[in-house]
A = this chain, B = another copy of it.
Amino acid sequence: MATLADVAALAGYNKSTVSRALTRPEMVAPETLTRILTAADQLGYVLNRTASQLARGRTGLAAFVVPTLENAFFAPIIGGAQAHAAASDLHLTVTVAPLTSASEVAALSRLASQVDGLILAAPRGDDTHVRAIGAVKPVVLVDREIPGLPSVVADTATAIGAVVSGLAARGHRRIAYLGGPNGSWQDPGRAAAALSAASRAGAEVSVHGPFPATFAAGVASAEEVLAAGATAVVPYATALALGLMLALRGRGVHVPDDVVVSAEATVTDALGAPGIPAIDVDGESLGRAAMDLLTSGGQDTLRLPVRVTWSG
């Protein structure tokens, strides 16, 4: 098993600097911290968190880290985590960091030193970046899996497969999947599920994107969707669906008579027409399950089912 001395040798710092970086990361320079965390990660060095935690005392704070606040998808997940945190006498704080750069990892490590644990929702950076945070404090992942780290994932891939099968059964032969964003761990699995469900049903799926989860991106996707000749569209996010719906109507294309667009049930219900698929993630349960793993120290990998309904 790797020792502190091994980490110091690999990183090129003395042992006291390494010790300080691992126990009081806010005291060392960001570049130093990154090098030391990378070395610790390469060697599989695990800090004895419980002991250092006891020495420093509980902070009473947990952090929920999101890649963006643009996507309303995270709001109920944060709400669920917050409700569960309050029950454990923890205050939840939210930080925006996609974790795609070393400087972001260093900044988040400093924050990590000031909380009891972190939930990382859909981080877009490499496994190494994410593991570096896990070396500082206990982490639980949401909508991402990395071997050795506990996680809770909404099974949207299976739901999207079911939606594509259902659309094909209702006669749609050309279906567009709007994917993204860049670096999303969920996205390749969703696209694969859409493609395999279509091929089983003798329909075609065109994969578009990556798109950010914004209304504007949905508007911008309209041209591509029409060019693909799709009669049904499965966007990965609600904001994208709403932008597309309004842009299609603005071009005289009737939704859902000419083109069916899937969304959350609150949206598809509002349209008052039958045969529209709705995909609903129970964000609150996702958030609660993640906070439960964090406070219990559970190491599970949970996959929560996602509800698919059809307007009728």
Interface residues of chain A, those whose CB is within 8 Å of chain B, are 26, 59-61, 63, 68-70, 72, 74-75, 78-79, 82, 91-96, 107-108, 110-111, 114, 215-216, 219, 238-239, 242-243, 245-247, 249-251, 266-267, 269-273
Contact = CB atoms under 8 A, between A and B. Distances in A.
A243 to B, nearest CB: 7
Contacts of A215: 238, 242, 266-267, 270
A63 to B, nearest CB: 7
B96 A91 contact: no
B273 A246 contact: no
A307 to B, nearest CB: 16
A269 B238 CA distance: 19
A78 B91 contact: no
B111 A61 contact: yes
A251 B266 contact: no
A312 B193 CA distance: 42
Contact of A219 (B68, B91, B95, B266): B266
A107 B69 CA distance: 23
24 contacts: A61-B111, A63-B93, A69-B69, A69-B74, A69-B79, A72-B239, A79-B96, A91-B95, A91-B107, A91-B111, A93-B95, A93-B111, A94-B94, A94-B95, A114-B114, A215-B270, A216-B266, A242-B246, A243-B270, A246-B271, A250-B270, A250-B271, A250-B272, A250-B273
Nearest to A218: B270
A122 to B, nearest CB: 15
Contacts of A94: 69, 93-96
A233 to B, nearest CB: 15
A216 to B, nearest CB: 5
A114 to B, nearest CB: 6
Contacts of A79: 69, 96
A114 B272 contact: no
Contacts of A216: 266
A69 B95 CA distance: 12
* Residue among A94, A95, A270, A272 with most chain B CB within 10 A: A270
Nearest to A251: B272
A110 B85 CA distance: 15
A272 B249 CA distance: 9
A249 B242 CA distance: 13
Given A60-B26, A61-B111, A78-B96, A271 B249 contact: yes
